[in-house]
Structure 1
Amino acid sequence: MRKNIYKFILWVLFIIIAFLIWPGKVILPGSIVVGEKPYSEGQEGRWQLIETGTELEYQFEAASDRLKGITLNIQKQNNAASVEKKQGNIIVAIKDSYDKEISIVYQAISQLQENSLTFFELDAHLNKGDRYSLNIYLDNGSEEQLCIFEKVEKDSFIAGIQFKYLKSLESASIILIWVGCILLGVLLLYIERIPNFVKFIKIFIFLLVLAIIGAWWYFYKFKEILDESIILNRLYMIILCLLALIFIIQLFICYWKKEKKPQKLFLYSSVMWGVIYLLIFPAFTAPDEDTHFVSSYDLANVMMGMDELGEDGKVLMRNIDNQMYELSPGRELMEKFYSSINIKTEKWSYVESISRNPYSTSRQTSIFNYLFQAIGVAIARVLNLNYFWVIILGRASNLLAYIILTYLAIKIIPIGKWLIYVISQFPMVLELSASYSYDVINIGMVFLFIALILNVKFNDRTIKGYDLVIISIVGVVMTMIKGMYFPILFAIFMIPKEKFSDGYIRNKSVLLRTMVVLFIVVISFLVNNQMLMHISGTKNTVSNIAGHSNARSIYTLLFDPFEIIKLFGNTIIKYGDSILFSIFGQKLAWRIDMLPLHLIVCFIGIAIYALGVNDNMYKSINLSDRIISLLIMFACTGLATMAMLLVNTPVGSETIEGVQGRYLVPFLPLLSITAAYNNSKTLETSSKATRIVIGTSILNYISVLYIFTYILSN
């Protein structure tokens, strides 16, 4: 009986809501104010006389379907005679184009204050966009005179009127609410017949909480700015739909289907979050993305059979692609970038790049640095797409390559799968993955190399010849992309000699692995000769010729090792916390603080949680494995810092400039070796997988809101 009463009450509420929504003009969530407040002080204008029998008429266009009222500056005429007859009224009326009164209000003259604003509450139902007239006059019972202030606009006078409208729901919003009410009604009637309806309710409540958070941000952070820009409004709605979609997919897969394979969950998450970060950051806002774009464009030229450069060695581009935007993300940049989406590709010609760095680095580095970005650029140009799609397809190709590499790494690696998953969901990594930066390809290749080493170490079979071949190929590509990570090659010494089946090879396994490392290093150094220049000091000579006298040589540092120690120490003291937090994404774009510290702490916490979810294979990790992992991480950190010291730090600087957290991301999976401890805790239940997947998505959801807030406020 109680259930039936409960359902009856809810159905009554549903009918009432549906009845209110039907006209489409009853639910009014916002307001619109048109015109400035009609102050007379400090403005040019005049006082227009209003007498009995005189009617003032002003034309206006309805900005909404509901006019709540108007504000006027009306005052009594100073020389008006005091009259003791019937008290007069001001009459304000709204008429349509057929001179039919829609709304009228009477205001007693006695209530007027001297030289003050007066609000007339009209509450008129209008049709948005139609023309109406505002009529002001006095009734016949008064002989008083009033005057209204009129401002000068060009060669005419207009009344200083401020219109206040109530904003009704759009048709699409009305339809959505109708659909929501219908679904709610069906849910109330048949909830007990839905399989696992308790799960359904929990998912619904979770999504409702996220929607409330998003609505709060919208109304208190975004609404005023988004109302001014159709482009930003549409972009926000697209991102909002993608955010809703990613949570629905993840909840269905994790919570409903109980999927617990991290590589599959990574695939769904990274594709969706990668697209969101691709959309929310306009062109060239990722670190050095403008330089990477020019290099990718040059490689695309080569792939399309055009090897020529400009007279000064600058990269040649289609003139329609030769645009330079601001590098710091902001509202105007966002609007400018997305307003070019539908520009038609007209006739074009090749011109020299006008970028901040118009010279290509793709001809001095390995082909893998810019291969994937160049493929996207080439596809866009073959299809004769405009500049917007050149940017988007190049970024999308880079994102796709990164996802494939990291997917393979998570699938292959026997331990630390969830740690790699969490790292891949850091805002820093997602921003880079959706840009032209080759750092993400380097991250994916390092992840894959570490995965291959640990797979050989922990699997049940002996090592084969093709294992060493695959490891060598991946190692060569990894070090060719960014040579500072060649210490990771020494992870091959974590493979126990017992993995070699042949007795002679087992005894010579240390020599064999050393030869593999040397082979990879030699091949990589021959391809990436810039590393040799940094070490030999020839880079210093080149910099001097170019007029950069601040470049250093490693030779000058070897004579004073205490100088290096001092520089490293000062850097840790001054920038240590900034470098640590930027690993997770506190500093995005061009090292801009976009995310609050408490959000970064949450990312650190979920990374520690994933690190603590151990696998039984951790029992095979010995002290030597931990030491090797630690030495590799210290060596990579040292080389990354040394690279910044050689090429980015002025001679007189007391600290090393340019060290960023993104340089430390690639070797973080080795933390699964160094921080491992033996216990019975395993990640076999889907609930723990759900915590990591949904937890990282919630943090990224809030991160996107913060990023969007920063962009709209700048």
Structure 2
Amino acid sequence: MKKNTFKLFIWLLFILFIFLIWPGKLIYPGSAIIGEKPYSEGKDGRWRLIGTQTDLEYQFEAVSDRLKGITLNIRKQDEIPYGQYKGTIIVSIKDSYGKNIAAVNQAISQLHDNTLIFFELDAYLTKGEYYSLSINLENTLLEKLSLFEYKEGDSFVPGIQYNYLKSLEPTQIILLWMSCLILGGILFGEKYIPHYNKFIKSFLFLCILGAIGGWWYYYKFRPIVNNNKVLSRVFMVLILLIILIFIIQLTLCYWKNEKKPHKLFLYSSFIWGIIYMIIFPAFTAPDEDTHFVSSYDLSSVLMGMDQLSENGKVLVRSIDNEIYILSPGCELLENYYSTVNKKTEKWVYEESKSRNPYSTSRQTSIFNYLFQAIGLLIARVFNLNYFWLIILGRMFNLIAYIVLMYLTIKIIPIGKWLIYVISQFPMVLELGASFSYDVINIGMVFLFIAFILNIKFNMKPIQIRDIVFISFIGVIMTMIKGIYFPLLFLIFIIPKEKFENDFIKKHSSIIRLFIVGIIIVVTFLVNNQMLTHISGTKNISSAIIGHVNARSIYTLMYDPVEMVKLFGNTIIKYGDSILFSIFGQKLAWRIDMLPLHLIACFIGIFVYTLGVNDKMYRSINLSDRITSLVIMLACACLAAVAMLLVNTPVGSEVIEGVQGRYFLPFLPLLSVTAAYSNSKALEITTNVTRVVLGTSILNYIAILYIFAYILSN
């Protein structure tokens, strides 16, 4: 009884407080400063004289119901200190009938040279109506003061800054009243709300997230978002999607006790992928403009239009040749989303105006750009505008990546949660929501690793179809990016006891080596870029766009000491940057968008899930760990060598262009090398919830940082 009485008292007190906000205007949670700071330095203008006989008046429109003060830039006309003068300067507010509403008298002796002067008022106004600000002198021997006025065009604007308090809007008051009713329902609905404790915890969790977002909006986003319809709509869509993903995850993890990572991945990656797709406009992902042009060329080939321009450049619709700004910013976001409803005008085919207008899809495998090209093909067939062309191309790439990762998490026997966490890295989500084929490469490599580990750990003997599937995925994986061909040697961690045939079991090592050799040969025949890197020759398009380097594998082999020096210098200079960029500190065009403390949290969850491997550690011996470690080191070295060949100038002391995203594909092998004897399965529901909601909370904060960066540029 006492408990209910206390609840009732608190609730009634809260409602009373809320109801007094509007009519009584007891609180003003916001402020507004109208006008720039009235500095005179470096600005064109004039000094307007304030006389002792006449008032200096300026008209202004009230932007709120309460004016708290004004800031002026005034000065004397002589060198005598203010302290030697008597008298006052009077600043007053008058309505349209000339009636004084508020006034403040300031002793001239208390003024200071070379300072802005703040006059504190407390004027109750009517928002939207016009008032006059009056300034005059009384009882002083000081003949004149001057007020600075800016020059804007052919007119002058007074250097006055108005400081307002802003009361809540009527809609906000109504929302507060509704919140009171909801709060009362929660306080007294314990007997009637099912799973009351879960409901309260979920409600408090969402309230905390809302408070964090509200703080960012109020102090970071509001001044820019409120004055821009496009940005405000983008912001609202982002907020709705973020609310949706947290509600879905709370429902699945906390209410339905869903523990299967592949199902949780499906919802999380799709919605977070769309969020990253929205916040990053076209061509802001690394090399996305190049990937777009290559995807466009492949879509033309699929449509039976395989011609290029006379200069070898890709032909695109003139309406698709509009925005090629590479750095994300406020202007780009606004320009990009302003084309949503733009009608498709008449167009012609013309040369691409991209930074790299030459297609790389003709020198690589079809799988690099197939899914993006299908999205572009559909947009072109239906004659959709530029915006929807970009969205469809990105969307098909995202869906293909999600399908590959879903299959990976479902079939891999260890490291399921490790892969889930990797899939939630800002770097991976940004790539997945772009035209980059890196996510297809990541998905294919993950799927290959998953299939190998599945064969190793399941109880079934290996079948011919398994070998065929391994070979097929291996060919696609290495065709997309050849530097990951060392992963093919994972086939050697499959025990020979898995082979039923005695002949194959006896010669299993030779047969596996033969399979790896066949995959590498097929890959080299399809992907001629690997051959050009080895031989030191360059294809035509590389020469045209300026990717010319004197190094080749031959020259590197003759100077191994130089190689060791380059690798060591790179680790010393770029090691920390490469590590943090794996998780997503550097997004877009390698821009530092996310703070280190946020990246440290991602690293913490990543390390935590390293030990979660479903108790399969008993089947992992020392040779498996060593093999996996050697393969990871080989892939990392090949990635560095590739950048040395194509991106590092001769004479450079470090390898340029090595990025963290190149190390993402082989990270699942850490589940093999890091498995330890007291390993645990992530079976407790609360732990699952912490991993899922934890990665989403970090992405939520990451989106806030990214949006703040975009609005500030």
TM-score by length of 2: 0.89
Question: How far off is 1:411 after superposition?
Answer: 0.4
Q: How does 1:223-302 map to 2 (within 5 A)?
A: 223-302=222-301
Choose the corresponding residue for 1:132, options 104, 119, 130: 130
Q: Which moved more, 1:234-243 or 1:599-608?
A: 234-243
Per the alignment, residue 81 of structure 1 pairs with none
Question: How far off is 1:292 after superposition?
Answer: 0.6
Q: How does 1:143-158 map to 2 (within 5 A)?
A: 149=147, 151=149
> What is the CA deviation profile of residues 317-345 of structure 1, one whole-angstrom value per residue up to 9, with x for unaligned ones?
11121124332223333333233333332
Q: How does 1:41-52 map to 2 (within 5 A)?
A: 43-47=45-49, 49=51, 51=53
Per the alignment, residue 516 of structure 1 pairs with 515
Task: Answer whether contact 2:427 2:582 (CA < 8 A) is retained.
Answer: yes
Instruction: Indicate whether 1:449 and 2:451 are aligned.
Output: no
Task: Answer whether contact 1:484 1:640 (CA < 8 A) is retained.
Answer: yes
* Equivalent residue letter for 1:183: I
Task: Answer whether contact 1:70 1:122 (CA < 8 A) is retained.
Answer: no
Per the alignment, residue 4 of structure 2 pairs with 4
Q: How does 1:217-228 map to 2 (within 5 A)?
A: 217-228=216-227
1:599 counterpart SS class: helix
Per the alignment, residue 476 of structure 1 pairs with 475
Question: How far off is 1:160 after superposition?
Answer: 5.1
Question: How far off is 1:24 after superposition?
Answer: 10
Per the alignment, residue 418 of structure 2 pairs with 419
- Distance in 2, Cα, partners of 1:686 & 1:626: 30
2:342 counterpart SS class: coil
Q: How does 1:553-592 map to 2 (within 5 A)?
A: 553-592=552-591
In the superposition, relative to structure 1, how do residues 163 and 581 fare at CA in structure 2: closer, same or farther (>3 Å)? closer
1:539 counterpart SS class: coil
In the superposition, relative to structure 1, how do residues 482 and 25 fare at CA in structure 2: closer, same or farther (>3 Å)? farther
Question: How far off is 1:221 after superposition?
Answer: 3.3
> What is the CA deviation profile of residues 464-510 of structure 1, one whole-angstrom value per residue up to 9, with x for unaligned ones?
22222222221121111111111111112222222222323322333
Question: How far off is 1:93 after superposition?
Answer: 4.6
- Distance in 2, Cα, partners of 1:548 & 1:74: 60
Q: How does 1:292-331 map to 2 (within 5 A)?
A: 292-331=291-330
Q: How does 1:360-379 map to 2 (within 5 A)?
A: 360-379=359-378
- Distance in 2, Cα, partners of 1:530 & 1:675: 35
> What is the CA deviation profile of residues 300-330 of structure 1, one whole-angstrom value per residue up to 9, with x for unaligned ones?
2222332121110111111121124332223
Task: Answer whether contact 1:426 1:603 (CA < 8 A) is retained.
Answer: yes
Question: How far off is 1:671 after superposition?
Answer: 1.2
Q: How does 1:634-713 map to 2 (within 5 A)?
A: 634-679=633-678, 681-713=680-712
Q: Structure 1: 5+ residue runs without aligned partners?
A: 79-86
Per the alignment, residue 95 of structure 2 pairs with 95
Per the alignment, residue 210 of structure 1 pairs with 209
1:531 counterpart SS class: helix
Question: How far off is 1:632 after superposition?
Answer: 1.5
Q: How does 1:341-352 map to 2 (within 5 A)?
A: 341-352=340-351
- Distance in 2, Cα, partners of 1:269 & 1:637: 29
- Distance in 2, Cα, partners of 1:144 & 1:16: 53
Q: Which moved more, 1:516-525 or 1:131-140?
A: 131-140
Question: How far off is 1:73 after superposition?
Answer: 7.3
In the superposition, relative to structure 1, how do residues 132 and 146 fare at CA in structure 2: closer, same or farther (>3 Å)? farther
In the superposition, relative to structure 1, how do residues 71 and 561 fare at CA in structure 2: closer, same or farther (>3 Å)? closer
Choose the corresponding residue for 1:105, options 98, 102, 106: 102
Question: How far off is 1:289 after superposition?
Answer: 0.9
- Distance in 2, Cα, partners of 1:655 & 1:195: 62
> What is the CA deviation profile of residues 224-264 of structure 1, one whole-angstrom value per residue up to 9, with x for unaligned ones?
44345443333233323322332222122112211110001
- Distance in 1, Cα, partners of 2:155 & 2:711: 37
Per the alignment, residue 82 of structure 1 pairs with none
Task: Answer whether contact 1:24 1:174 (CA < 8 A) is retained.
Answer: no
In the superposition, relative to structure 1, how do residues 687 and 161 fare at CA in structure 2: closer, same or farther (>3 Å)? closer
Per the alignment, residue 394 of structure 1 pairs with 393
Count of matched residue positions in the alignment of Structure 1 and Structure 2: 699
Question: How far off is 1:284 after superposition?
Answer: 1.5
Question: How far off is 1:511 after superposition?
Answer: 3.1
> What is the CA deviation profile of residues 513-533 of structure 1, one whole-angstrom value per residue up to 9, with x for unaligned ones?
233222222222111111111
In the superposition, relative to structure 1, how do residues 179 and 397 fare at CA in structure 2: closer, same or farther (>3 Å)? farther
Task: Answer whether contact 1:69 1:164 (CA < 8 A) is retained.
Answer: yes
Q: CA RMSD in A?
A: 3.3
Instruction: Indicate whether 1:600 and 2:607 are aligned.
Output: no
> What is the CA deviation profile of residues 599-638 of structure 1, one whole-angstrom value per residue up to 9, with x for unaligned ones?
2222222112111123232211222222221222122112
Question: How far off is 1:711 after superposition?
Answer: 2.5
Per the alignment, residue 501 of structure 1 pairs with 500
In the superposition, relative to structure 1, how do residues 91 and 640 fare at CA in structure 2: closer, same or farther (>3 Å)? closer
In the superposition, relative to structure 1, how do residues 186 and 294 fare at CA in structure 2: closer, same or farther (>3 Å)? same
1:538 counterpart SS class: coil
- Distance in 2, Cα, partners of 1:385 & 1:25: 51
TM-score by length of 1: 0.89
- Distance in 2, Cα, partners of 1:257 & 1:393: 33
In the superposition, relative to structure 1, how do residues 363 and 91 fare at CA in structure 2: closer, same or farther (>3 Å)? closer
Task: Answer whether contact 1:20 1:27 (CA < 8 A) is retained.
Answer: no
Question: How far off is 1:535 after superposition?
Answer: 1.3
- Distance in 2, Cα, partners of 1:25 & 1:13: 17
- Distance in 2, Cα, partners of 1:490 & 1:156: 76
In the superposition, relative to structure 1, how do residues 688 and 119 fare at CA in structure 2: closer, same or farther (>3 Å)? same
* Equivalent residue letter for 1:628: T
> What is the CA deviation profile of residues 409-445 of structure 1, one whole-angstrom value per residue up to 9, with x for unaligned ones?
0001111101111111111111111111100000000
- Distance in 1, Cα, partners of 2:47 & 2:476: 74
- Distance in 1, Cα, partners of 2:124 & 2:525: 79
Q: How does 1:12-27 map to 2 (within 5 A)?
A: 12-21=12-21, 27=27
* Equivalent residue letter for 1:462: P
Instruction: Indicate whether 1:60 and 2:60 are aligned.
Output: yes
2:676 counterpart SS class: coil
- Distance in 2, Cα, partners of 1:524 & 1:268: 34
In the superposition, relative to structure 1, how do residues 358 and 137 fare at CA in structure 2: closer, same or farther (>3 Å)? closer
In the superposition, relative to structure 1, how do residues 28 and 377 fare at CA in structure 2: closer, same or farther (>3 Å)? farther
2:102 counterpart SS class: strand
* Equivalent residue letter for 1:581: F
Q: Which moved more, 1:631-640 or 1:341-350?
A: 341-350
Question: How far off is 1:458 after superposition?
Answer: 1.4
Q: Structure 2: 5+ residue runs without aligned partners?
A: 79-86
- Distance in 2, Cα, partners of 1:679 & 1:473: 36
In the superposition, relative to structure 1, how do residues 40 and 304 fare at CA in structure 2: closer, same or farther (>3 Å)? closer
Q: Which moved more, 1:535-544 or 1:369-378?
A: 535-544
- Distance in 2, Cα, partners of 1:616 & 1:186: 46
Per the alignment, residue 379 of structure 2 pairs with 380
Instruction: Indicate whether 1:199 and 2:210 are aligned.
Output: no
Per the alignment, residue 436 of structure 1 pairs with 435
Question: How far off is 1:270 after superposition?
Answer: 0.7
Per the alignment, residue 179 of structure 1 pairs with 178
Q: Percent identity?
A: 64
1:44 counterpart SS class: strand
Question: How far off is 1:650 after superposition?
Answer: 1.8
Per the alignment, residue 84 of structure 1 pairs with none
* Equivalent residue letter for 1:463: I
- Distance in 2, Cα, partners of 1:638 & 1:38: 58
Task: Answer whether contact 1:45 1:151 (CA < 8 A) is retained.
Answer: yes
- Distance in 1, Cα, partners of 2:640 & 2:106: 78
Question: How far off is 1:457 after superposition?
Answer: 1.6
